[in-house]
């Protein structure tokens, strides 16, 4: 993606899926949008995944990103929780693939390293850096901030041109 582009980042979860969109042009980042999808917690897993699919598809269609970045599953406290997280992550991957987007995957540690300089950073440090790198951005919540962090981590890997974006 020569010259940067628009990146959507996902912090997937079955209870809350954060999403964040940044534009990356000429070495500069700008905030486009962010939010959180919260499927009905009383719903069946299949229904919750369908809600995520429809919601994320609508966001991708509305904002037309050039690339997607999804946070990878980390070792979870239980196999059941990891499986549910993986299902939400799979939904974000399918939505991105259906839209024809190239998809990058990042571990939580690599996202923290890209933003803060160290893989052991805590959530407060990551949120601080998101606000610092995207002035005026007000994340919709912790999961939206994490999704913006994923998008920023990917944007830092994009090639930039000297031309104004």
- 11 flagged as catalytic: yes
Pair 21, 7: CB distance under 8 Å: yes
Angle at 107 between CA 106 and CA 112, to 5 degrees: 95
In this structure, the strands spanning 5-11 and 17-25 are: antiparallel
pLDDT tens, 80-134? Answer: 888 888 899 999 999 999 999 999 999 988 998 888 877 777 788 888 889 999 9
- 61 flagged as catalytic: no
Residue of 40, 71, 72, 122 with catalytic role: 71
Helix axis angle, 142-155 to 123-133, nearest 10°: 60
- 44 flagged as catalytic: no
Residue of 44, 61, 105, 143 with catalytic role: 143
pLDDT tens, 115-125? Answer: 887 777 778 88
Residue of 11, 23, 36, 146 with catalytic role: 11
pTM of the model: 0.90
């Amino acid at each position: 993606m020569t010259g940067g582009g628009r990146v959507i980042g996902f912090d997937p979860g079955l209870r809350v899926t954060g999403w964040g969109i940044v534009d990356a042009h000429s070495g500069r980042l700008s905030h486009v949008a962010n939010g959180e999808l919260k499927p009905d917690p009383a719903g069946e897993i299949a229904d919750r995944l369908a809600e995520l699919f429809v919601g994320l598809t609508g966001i991708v269609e509305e904002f037309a990103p050039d690339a997607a970045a999804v946070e990878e599953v980390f070792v979870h406290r239980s196999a059941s929780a990891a499986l549910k997280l993986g299902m939400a992550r799979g939904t974000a991957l399918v939505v991105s693939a259906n839209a024809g987007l190239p998809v990058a995957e990042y571990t939580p540690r690599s996202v923290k390293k890209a933003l803060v300089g160290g893989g052991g950073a805590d959530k407060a440090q990551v949120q601080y850096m998101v606000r610092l790198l995207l002035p005026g951005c007000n994340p919709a919540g912790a999961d939206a901030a994490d999704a913006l962090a994923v998008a920023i981590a990917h944007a830092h890997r994009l090639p930039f041109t000297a031309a104004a974006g």
